[in-house]
Amino acid sequence: MMDISNSVYLEQNLTKLLEKKVVLVDLKHQVERRSEPYRKDMDGWLRNLEVFERTLEEIQSTYNEINIPGFRFSKGND
C-alpha cells in the first residue's frame, strides 16, 4: 500500500481520479443526450456521478489548500 502522506502519491492519486472524472463526465453527457426513458433508468448513476464530482472538487480544494510548492490542480473538466 502506498504512503498517502507522501505528496508524490497524493499527486498521482488525484491525477488518476481526475482522469477517471473526464471519462465519467463524457459518459454523463452521452447519457443526458439519450431519450427520456433511458435517462430515467440512469438516474441513480447520474446522482452517484454528481456526488463523485462534488467529492472530487472538495478533494481538489483541500489539496490546493495544502499548497504544495509548484503544484496546483485546476478546477474543471481538464
The residue ranges of every structural domain in the chain are 8-52
Report helix, strand or coil for 8.
helix
Cα-only R_g, the chain: 15
Of the two residues 7 and 1, the one the predictor is more confident about is 7
**Residue 41: pLDDT above 70?**
yes
The DSSP call for residue 73 is P
pLDDT at 12 over 80: yes
Position with higher pLDDT, 39 vs 3? 39
The count of residues in the chain is 78
The mean pLDDT of 23-52, rounded to a whole number, is: 85
